[in-house]
Amino acid sequence: MDNVENFIANIDHAQKRNDALSLLILLSKASGYSAHLQGSIIGFGQYHYIYDSGREGDASVIAFAARKQNLVLYIMNGFSQYGHLLEKLGKYKVGKSCLYINKLKDIDLDVLLEIATLSVQAMQHKYRCTGRSAAGYSE
């Protein structure tokens, strides 16, 4: 966890740094996993995937990155089942598995927590997910 906290502490822009700290708490709560650093991405939990092509690997159950232009949440199971929640979320853009947010004050954090929690549950239902408990990060 120290690497994650050091990484966040070194984010130049104060608002982005504060938002990253808030996401650290929110995604720890939603996932139940402690955070780990993968390059510039902060992930929670891990699962093993195998594509039909035979390609396989490991990925975070849920993750985020504090990019220069925006915050990116990686919702691994996509957004097709969350339309009713996205309508209430606020200002964002969405890709296949990415949720782009300029700043957290633009969205409803309770709705984001619900989306994140449901996404983690869906991943846990589909895959055998592993990771350390996020005991230290509750509100």
133 has a pLDDT exceeding 90 = no
H/E stretch holding 6: helix 2-9
pTM: 0.90
133 occurs within a structural domain = no
Give the pLDDT band (50/70/90) at residue 51.
confident
39 occurs within a structural domain = yes
137 occurs within a structural domain = no
Residue 64: beta bridge partners? Answer: 42, 73
Exposure pattern of 68-107 as b/e (b: 16+ CB <10 Å)? eebbbbbbbbebeebeeeeeebeebeeeeebbebbebeeb
Residue with tokens 């990155």, as numbered in its chain? 65
Reading the block at residue 103, the tokens are 């700043």
Structurally, the chain folds into a number of domains equal to: 1
25 occurs within a structural domain = yes
